[in-house]
């Protein structure tokens, strides 16, 4: 398993993972019909850095890191992680989240925040908690889930400095 910074050439391999996850509408707040072109902007141009996780030369996961707020909030970063459905349950999200925390610290960030975690995404919530994140907010009915309707979303947060 290798995690390395992504290049734009990697996007052809990232897109099927992005599209599968975003079109399902159950975890990310991107429009479900986000186009390939828009996806590239969201995943490569808005973030500060984008990474891919490769196993045997095949991209199976990806994440971005970006500043969550400017000015008075610029010491807090935000990350988003995606794992191919082919590779779930093999620790890829854990590996990327741990990698991102080191990367964040190297970039000078002091904390990491997830702004909008669907409360139905129990696997992710359990994993982020295991990795030291706390639920610091609950947004009532803020996530419009395609099958469950309006459900709560969590704000999760971790201070990275020891």
Binding residues (CB under 8 A) for its own copies: these are 22, 25, 28-32, 34, 69-76, 110-111, 113, 115-116, 118, 136-145, 150, 153, 155, 157, 159
Our CB check for its own copies shows the closer of 87 and 135 to be: 135
Our CB check for its own copies shows the closer of 4 and 110 to be: 110
Beta carbon of residue 95, minimum distance to its own copies (angstroms, whole number): 26
Beta carbon of residue 123, minimum distance to its own copies (angstroms, whole number): 17
Beta carbon of residue 4, minimum distance to its own copies (angstroms, whole number): 29
Asked if residues 157 and 113 have their Cβ atoms less than 8 Å apart, the reply is yes
29: closest CA among 155, 115, 122, 156?
A: 115
Beta carbon of residue 93, minimum distance to its own copies (angstroms, whole number): 20
Our CB check for its own copies shows the closer of 127 and 155 to be: 155
Beta carbon of residue 89, minimum distance to its own copies (angstroms, whole number): 24
Q: What are 42's two structure tokens?
A: 């969201």
Our CB check for its own copies shows the closer of 95 and 135 to be: 135
Our CB check for its own copies shows the closer of 40 and 145 to be: 145
Asked if residues 149 and 118 have their Cβ atoms less than 8 Å apart, the reply is no
Distances (CA, A) of 143 to 1, 53, 74, 130, 139: 33, 28, 25, 23, 8
Asked if residues 54 and 2 have their Cβ atoms less than 8 Å apart, the reply is yes
Which sign, positive or negative, has the C-alpha torsion 95, 100, 105, 107? positive
Q: What are 108's two structure tokens?
A: 């000078």
Other CB atoms within a 10 A radius of the CB of residue 151 amount to 17
């Amino acid at each position: 398993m290798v995690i390395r910074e992504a290049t734009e050439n990697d996007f052809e391999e990232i897109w099927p993972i992005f599209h599968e996850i975003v079109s399902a509408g159950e975890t990310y707040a991107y429009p479900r019909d986000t186009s390939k072109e828009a996806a590239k902007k969201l995943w490569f141009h808005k973030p500060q850095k984008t990474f891919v996780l490769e196993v045997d030369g095949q991209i199976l996961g990806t994440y971005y890191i970006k500043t969550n707020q400017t000015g008075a909030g610029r010491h807090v970063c935000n990350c988003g992680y995606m794992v191919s459905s082919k590779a779930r349950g093999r620790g890829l999200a854990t590996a990327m989240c741990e990698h991102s925390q080191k990367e964040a610290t190297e970039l000078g960030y002091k904390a990491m925040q997830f702004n909008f975690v669907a409360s139905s995404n129990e696997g992710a919530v359990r994993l982020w908690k295991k990795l030291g994140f706390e639920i610091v907010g609950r947004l009532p009915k803020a996530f419009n889930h395609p099958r469950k309707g309006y459900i709560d979303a969590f704000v999760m947060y971790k201070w990275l400095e020891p």
